[in-house]
């Protein structure tokens, strides 16, 4: 049981490039989330999903897209990378309902130059 895994661990992008951050969980959780963490700040919700085929925007969705074709995977897509998207990205999952505990992955550090 690996929990929540994220790839890559670190990536440098040039302005305007695109990339997909991968997230997989093996706990059969219904709910999955993407957060970004900027230095000295808490985590801000980008997108979330309550089940396969269902996604919704969080607090800071602009510049990102997500999909949820399976229960296990929840990739985050950056289409036109901007310096403002330099951050650490965390994926999380939870069973949902009354069991709200969110389990976080190790994070992806992204630098846009």
Give the footprint of other proteins on this chain (CB under 8 A). Answer: 4, 31, 33, 35, 40-45, 48, 50, 56, 58-59, 90, 92, 94, 96-98, 100-107
**From the CB of 11, what's the least distance to other proteins, in Å?**
16
Residue 85 sits at φ, ψ, to 5 deg, of -95, 5
**From the CB of 41, what's the least distance to other proteins, in Å?**
5
Please say which residue, 17 or 71, places its beta carbon nearer to other proteins: 71
Please say which residue, 51 or 83, places its beta carbon nearer to other proteins: 51
- Report the alpha-carbon distance of residue 89 to residue 77 in Å, rounded: 12
Q: Token match 């969705």: residue?
A: 61
- Report the alpha-carbon distance of residue 112 to residue 110 in Å, rounded: 7
């Amino acid at each position: 049981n690996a929990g929540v895994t994220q790839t890559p661990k670190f990536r440098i992008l040039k302005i305007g490039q695109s990339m997909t951050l991968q997230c997989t969980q093996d706990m059969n959780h219904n709910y999955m989330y993407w957060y970004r963490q900027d230095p000295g700040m808490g985590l801000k919700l980008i997108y979330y999903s309550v089940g396969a085929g269902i996604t919704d925007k969080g607090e800071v969705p602009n510049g990102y897209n997500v999909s949820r074709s399976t229960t296990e995977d929840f990739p985050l897509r950056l289409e036109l990378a901007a310096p403002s998207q330099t951050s650490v990205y965390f994926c999380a999952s939870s069973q949902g309902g009354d069991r709200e505990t969110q389990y976080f992955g190790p994070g992806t550090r992204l630098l846009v130059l």
